[in-house]
Amino acid sequence: MTQALSGFKVLDFGRYIAGPYAAMLLADQGAEVTKVEAPGGDPLRKELGFIVWNRSKRDITLNLKKPEGQRIVRELAKQSDVVIENFRPGVAERLGIGYETLSELNPRMVYCSISGFGPSGPYRDLPGWEPIVSSLSTIYTEQGYVTHPVYIVLPLASTYAAFMAAFSVTTALYARELTGKGQKTDVSLFGALLAAQSIWVLDFKGKERMPWGPQGVLPLYRLYQGSDGKWFFLGLGTFTFFTKFAVLMGHEEWLADPLFDGAPFLIMPPRNARVIAMLKETFSTKTRDEWVELFTSADLPCAPVRAIDEFFEDPQILANEMVAEVEQPGLGRVRQMGVPVKFSLTPGRVKGPCPAMGQHNQEVLAGLGYSAGEVAKFKNEGVI
Amino acid sequence: MLPLEGIRVADFTTFLSGAGITHLLSDMGADVIKIEPPDGDPWRLVAGGFMGTNRGKRAIAIDLKKPEAKEIIHRLIATADLLVENARSGAMERLGLGYESVVKIKPDIIYISDPAHGSKGPLSRFPGFDPIIQSRSGQMMGQGGLEDPPVFHKVAVNDQAAPMLGAFGAALALLVRVRTGKGQYVETSLTNASVALQSGVFIDYEGMERKYPGKKDIKGLCATSRLYQGTDGVWFFVHCADDAQWRKLCQVLGLERLLADTRFATPEKRAEHDAALTEILTESFFTTPGALWVPILQKSGVPAALSQNLEGLLQDPHCLQNSMFLHQDHPQWGPCKILGVVPKFSEMEGIVRRPSPLLGEHTQEVLRELGYTPEQIDEFKTNKVVFQAKPMVPMSERTEKELKDLGYSDEQIARLKEGD
């Protein structure tokens, strides 16, 4: 065995982000992923991220509304270990690729259905767009701290859903080894985004309700500026770090000062504002890089704020092999995310670029036993 | 059957990210034993945070610096399928619990490591928390943009991503082990997670033009995908995904004239005149309460949703109908409402076996399972090798006043007393 999913076949009906990304994570770990696109193609093809979320896959176009398209997809499903789809609830069934239909053909199949809000409940049929899900999940109001919501630039719901989908699929593949049977797993963008907020999506008497601000409100755990106006994050996440910090700054008296009661995380309003003002003044005496250097050498958690283009050169991500270089037709050499989970015995790898639409029609259909003539006929008839 | 039934996890994690891995494994049915020092996981100080990432687990408290502790831990590891840790790189080695040592105790162990910076590179041994990585990786500047100050994501984005990646790694390694009999070392990190979360923009090639859409108090990416406010102060998100929805939006707002306005004729034109369009739509929406706009837009086929707050979410009909929340009686905090198991399986169910444990709540129970006699356990306790939480009086045996102090309602008390 070279990779964890060597020999596993995945049929990827995913579109946009969550479905394709989940399938890509499986491809990175050795699965043979075949992306199935409707004749119009994945609506995200023009987006920058598309080449990453679809790397290492084979690609076929298939018109599921034609009987031959249905026949081909059923043959592919019979051979697949995993199916991933993220249509709106009910659409996969209408296309003849629902769980009931496909699992009957192949009871060992693990079928992962990703949707905006899950297969039941009042929001089931709401369009599962990233910001619609996010808006209902409270993340915008939490980021804006109740007074006014703030939009979040990263597509967190789709990304977390992709991770959860990959987790659910592999868990079901593991269980299949014991039971011999496949099953359906359901992941919603909404559920995945709530899972990422599990530390405040709860209720009990005595629950802390921290205020919030865009640069943070915990004095020992927030963004500050050096004298040059550049930003850094100071993250004194334990009392030990706070102790070392106070000593380093020559202010051991802080350790007994009631102003710092609750350090590191529970210096509550209105005291937090006083401590923040005090530290802001202190930090205006040296440049950002001087502070970062001083704190780093004292083993205190801190970091400069950087733009993403600087991150490509970060020795940390280079050493941990998080930058992959892929030769992408049309774009040349593209630097992109490496494999985010590393294995000592079965290391993953990026197998290749993102395919063009229908690039592997011939290859995939030949694998099913169709002749070149039949493939040409499918093409003429608009099946592929 | 539970998806990970019979799988035991020796859980050395602290804080959010590592504990999140074992939390997901516990939800899938694994028997997770959290191993804490006598003063506990520092994350315990944040009650909601600890509860939200440690429910379902058992907890033992043990002083790893005591020589007797080593034998206990070895015995525990010998019964475990996975070991999970998120200490700084090097810390587990110093405790004699690095991968190389653990393999000698349990040859097919799956060892999951989730340090902040990854195990290689110049920062591998440095401390790190989620926002340190938000800062380094470009995420804060991505949200704040190039002109405005960086923005701290309130959701610990990397701390929440690494658990999902780590649990994915754990499941993959279990799959490999069941097929080959071999365990292995698996690693993810907050750093890896930060790259994976930015996968759509962590891209670089010659001639690429990078955009920085973030800015202070950003409300959306453009006028037709943005947060708006109604006269009642209620905010909601409107997201037109195509031209048809844009036309419907104009009709709903009585702004058909915009459809004939050359400035807004195509998506490109609308992008060019985004500020003007935003202003028109903002004014137009600020004529009716937001609570009314949402159903009007939804019925007209324009994707829209309320910008919900936490109080609303906890009563959200979709969450309630799907039983997304669980009710627990926490021995320390009383009645709690917490998020249930997220991925759903058709043939199996996830499980949350118990509320988040007290420090050392299961020390005796676990040591007995490992074959120690009550006398040996007492000796460990006397010598301060292990610690057992004081047994809590079962809720059903507490007085009405005690229960009220914990926040129980009259109805809940009645139910408890009836033994329900």
Q: Which residue of A has its CA nearest to B190?
A: A340
Mutate to test the interface with B, among A197, A198, A238 (most CBs of B within 10 A): A198
Whether B162 and B181 share a structural domain? yes
**Based on the structure, what is the number of domains in chain B?**
3
B215, burial (CB in 10 Å: exposed 0-12, middle 13-18, buried 19+): middle
Does residue B317 sit within a domain? Answer: no
Give percent of chain A with pLDDT exceeding 70.
99
Measured between CB atoms, which of A118, A145, A202 is closest to B337? A202
**Which among B3, B15, B132 has the least Cβ separation from residue A233?**
B132
Closest residue on chain A to B330 (Cα): A204
What digits encode the pLDDT tens for the residues B188-229?
999 999 999 999 999 999 999 999 999 999 999 999 999 999
- List the single best residue of B147, B318, B351 to mutate versus A (max A Cβ within 10 A): B318
In a domain, B211, yes or no: no
Q: What angle do CA B408, B413, B416 make, to 5 degrees?
A: 120
Residues in chain A: 384
CA distances in angstroms from A51 to A27, A54, A55, A337, A348, listed in the order given: 14, 5, 6, 11, 18
Residues B190 and B286 placed together within one structural domain of the fold = no
Q: Which CATH number goes with the domain that contains B246?
A: 3.30.1540.10
User: What's residue B415's pLDDT?
Assistant: 76
Beta-sheet strands, E only, within A89-182? 110-115
Cβ-based contacts of B119 with chain A (< 8 Å) = 320
Q: Looking at the domain assignment, is residue B336 inside a domain?
A: yes
Residues A96 and A83: beta-carbon distance below 8 Å: no
Residues A274 and A33: their CA atoms lie apart, in Å, by 56
- pLDDT-derived band at A1 (thresholds 50, 70, 90) equals low
The structure tokens listed for B12 are: 């050395």
Nearest to B220 by CA among A71, A153, A237, A267: A153
Q: Give the integer Cα–Cα distance in Å for A23 and A54.
A: 8
Which of B143, B175, B312 has its CB closest to that of A153?
B143
pLDDT, residue B419, reads: 61
Statement to judge: residues B181 and B275 lie in one domain: no
Beta carbon pairs, A and B, within 8 Å: 480
CA–CA min distance A282, chain B (Å)? 19
pLDDT for A86 beyond 70:
yes
Look at B168 and A204 and tell me if their CB atoms are within 8 Å. Answer: no
**Residues from chain B contacting residue A186 (CB–CB below 8 Å):** 343-346
Whether B51 has its CB under 8 Å from any CB of chain A: the answer is: yes
Q: How many other CB atoms are there within 10 angstroms of residue B94's CB atom?
A: 10
E-strand ranges in chain A read: 9-12, 32-37, 57-61, 82-85, 110-115, 184-188, 202-204, 221-225, 231-235, 302-304, 323-328, 332-337, 342-343
* Cα gap B133→B136, rounded to integer Å: 5
**Phi, psi (deg, nearest 5) at residue A148:** -155, 140
Q: Is B268 at the interface with chain A, CB within 8 A?
A: no
CB A377 within 8 A of CB B201: no
CB contact under 8 A, B346 and A99: yes
- Cα separation, A86 vs B361, in Å, equals 42
pLDDT at A197 over 80: yes
Note whether A219 contacts B: Cβ–Cβ < 8 A: no
Distance CA A218, CA A220 (A): 6
Gap from B376 CA to chain A (nearest CA, Å): 34
Residue B72 to residue B78: CA distance in whole angstroms: 10
Altogether, the residues listed in chain B come to a count of 420
Question: What is the model's pLDDT at position A299?
Answer: 96
Q: pLDDT at residue A208 above 80?
A: no
Q: Among B132, B202, B407, select the one facing A308 at the smallest CB separation.
A: B202
A356's tokens: 């063009």
Examine the domain organization and report whether B225 and B80 are in the same domain: no
CA–CA dist A249, A223 (Å, integer)? 18
Contact at 8 Å (CB) between B47 and B192?
A: no
Token pair listed for B41: 């996981």
State residue B408's pLDDT score: 78
pLDDT tens per residue across span A258-280: 999 999 988 988 999 999 999 99
By the 8 A CB rule, do A130 and A190 touch? Answer: no
Residue B235's H or E segment, with its range, is strand B235-239
Distance, in angstroms, between B232 CA and closest chain A CA?
Answer: 13
All residues of chain A having their beta carbon less than 8 Å from the beta carbon of residue B345 are 168, 171-172, 183-186
Average pLDDT over residues B313-327: 96
Contacts of B329 in chain A (CB under 8 A): none
Confidence tier at B406 by pLDDT (50, 70, 90): confident
- What pLDDT sits at residue A292? 97
- The answer to whether A198 touches B53, Cβ cutoff 8 Å, is yes
Which residues in chain A have Cβ-Cβ distances shorter than 8 Å to B349?
none
Cα first-last separation, chain A: 34
| Rounded Cα gap, residues A173 and A90, in angstroms | 24
Token pair listed for A98: 């629902």
Q: How far is CA B324 from the centre of its chain?
A: 15
> How would residue A366 be classed by pLDDT, with cut points 50, 70 and 90?
very high
Query: Residue B179 is nearest to which of A121, A177, A231, comparing CB atoms?
Result: A177
Asked if A131 lies within 8 A of B239 by C-beta distance, the reply is yes
Q: Which amino acid is at A6?
A: S
Do B399 and B385 belong together in one domain? no
Radius of gyration of chain B from Cα atoms?
26
Q: Where does a domain end: B312, B337, B363?
A: B312
Residue of B nearest to A51 (CA): B200
Is B351 in the same domain as B408?
no
Same-domain pairing of B248 and B280: yes
Q: Which of A25, A133, A340 sits opposite B192 (nearest CB)?
A: A340
Residues B146 and B160 in one domain: yes
Residue B420 in this model has a pLDDT that exceeds 60: no
SS3 readout for B90-130:
CHHHHCCCCHHHHHHHCCCCEEEECCCCCCCCCCCCCCCCH
Cβ count near B212 (within 10 Å):
18
Residue B277 lies in a domain: yes
Domain of residue B72: give its range.
8-197+328-389
Q: CA–CA separation, B195 vs A185, rounded Å?
A: 26
Higher pLDDT, B419 or A301: A301
What is the reported pLDDT for B407?
A: 74
Q: Which domains does chain A have, with CATH numbers?
A: 9-198+354-380 (3.40.50.10540), 231-304 (no CATH)
Any domain includes B343: yes
Residue B192 lies in a domain: yes
CA nearest A222: which of A294, A149, A278, A139?
Answer: A278
What are A111's strand-pairing partners?
Answer: A83, A184
Strands B344-345 vs A32-37: parallel, antiparallel or unpaired: unpaired
pLDDT given at position B341: 96
Chain A within 8 Å of B313 (Cβ-Cβ)? yes
- Report chain A's C-alpha Rg in angstroms: 25
Residue B322 within any structural domain of the chain: no
In a domain? residue B210: no
Mean per-residue pLDDT, B81-103: 96
Determine which of A82-96, A208-222, B146-160, B237-251 has the lowest per-residue pLDDT on average. Answer: A208-222
How far apart (Å, rounded) are the C-alpha atoms in residues B169 and B163?
9
Q: Which residues of A touch B217 (CB under 8 A)?
A: 144, 148, 150, 214
pLDDT at A146: 66
Residues B269 and B399 in one domain: no
Predicted local distance difference test score (pLDDT) of residue B108 = 98
The angle formed by the CA atoms of residues A329, A331 and A334, to the nearest 5 degrees, is 100
B109 plus B187 within the same structural domain: yes
Q: Name the residue facing B201 among A4, A48, A191 (closest C-beta).
A: A48
DSSP summary character for residue B87: S
Measured CA distances, A327 to A51, A348, B357 (Å): 11, 18, 50
Q: Which residues contact A302 (CB under 8 A, 6 or more apart)?
A: A232, A233, A234, A235, A291, A292, A295, A296, B132
Mean pLDDT over each residue of chain A, to the nearest integer: 96
Distance from CA of A323 to the nearest CA of B (A): 9
Task: Indicate if B50 and B182 belong to the same structural domain.
Answer: yes
CATH number for the domain including B359?
A: 3.40.50.10540
pLDDT at A103 over 90: yes
* Residue pair A260/A275 in contact by the 8 Å Cβ criterion: yes
Helices (H), A196-270: 239-248
A140 contacts B200? CB cut-off 8 A: no
B185 → chain A, closest CA residue: A344
Q: B46 pLDDT exceeds 90?
A: no
pTM equals 0.96
Looking at the fold, whether B107 and B145 belong to one and the same domain comes out as: yes
Three-class DSSP category at A68: helix
Taken in order A60, A65, A69, A71, the sign of the CA dihedral is: positive
CA-to-CA distance for B80 and B59, rounded, in angstroms? 15
